[in-house]
Every structure is written in structure tokens, then in C-alpha cells.
Amino acid sequence: MLDKNYYEKVDEIIAGYGTESRFLIPIIQDVQNEYRYLPPELLKYIADKLHITEAKAYSVATFYENFSFDQKGKYVIKVCDGTACHVRKGTDVLEKLREVLQLKPGQKTTDDMLFTLETVSCLGACGLAPVLTVNDEVHPAMTPDKVIDLISSIMKEEQA
């Protein structure tokens, strides 16, 4: 059960668009931007407010890869696994991230909810390969050593 504030925020977002079903995608995008994931309870709430079935809302939310029902960490790291990044040893970068973040096989988010690690097919920055983003900030020409420096700098910011 989510806190009342979640529903109040959704009401605020819906008020900015209106209750027509055509606003489903921008509304759930805003909800996901707010919470870094799409809480399933809120999707049902949104469907009710927009007078659509819960099944319709879920079909839209699950169709688009961008939407996630899994809670994410404060820092979402996306590692490109496209051809250019793969050829330039992007998998070494990914493995170093898993090691530094101490992620178990199949685990995407650290236990402290600070980091979420995802692989994506392409970040559209092939000339910068291997590349990753941290909350949409691009980090080009990554190496395993640069991964250590990057995570260390984020941890220092967190402790400040």
C-alpha cells in the first residue's frame, strides 16, 4: 500500500493533462519520472481516473520498454551493448560495474537502492564507444578503471 502522497502527486499530474485516455502515456511518463519506476498500484489508480480498464493501461505500460514496474536506485546506470560498444570491450565495463556494485547474478539494483544497472541495445553514441549513462549523463570511452573512478566519485557525493 502506497502512502497517500503518491496518489496526491498523481492527481496533480493528471490535473495538468486532463482525464482523457489519450493522456495515458504522458501521465505515466511523468509518474515514472517522479518515482523512477511505475508503481502498479498507481497504474490502476490512473486507469480509474482516465475511465479506461486496468488491462488497457497495463497493455500500454508493458508495450513500451521504457516503463518499469521495478523500483530503481537513485542512480540509473545504462550500459550500451550495441555493436560498437561491444566491439570496444563494453562487456568489460559492464562486468566491472557488476563487481564494483556487488550485484549478484540477476540483480539489477543494489541493496541500498543507490544504483540500478541496466543494459540497453543502443545509446546512439557509437563514436564515443564504449559508453554508459548515469541518470542520462553520458560517460564516453569507458574502461574498467574509469568505472571505478566514476562510482567512487558518486559515492563521495553521497557522503558529502
At a CB cut-off of 8 Å and minimum separation 6, what does 55 contact? none
Q: Would you call 79 helix, strand, or coil by DSSP?
A: strand
pLDDT number for residue 1: 75
Question: What pLDDT digit, counting tens, does each position of 84-99 carry?
Answer: 999 999 999 999 999 9
Question: What pLDDT digit, counting tens, does each position of 29-39 carry?
Answer: 999 999 989 99
Stretch (H or E) spanning 87: helix 83-87
Mean pLDDT in runs of 10 for the chain (160 residues)?
93 98 97 93 97 97 90 94 95 97 95 95 93 95 97 94
Q: pTM to 2 decimals?
A: 0.81
At a CB cut-off of 8 Å and minimum separation 6, what does 57 contact? 24, 28, 43, 44, 46, 47, 50
pLDDT number for residue 108: 95
CA-to-CA distance for 50 and 84, rounded, in angstroms?
Answer: 43
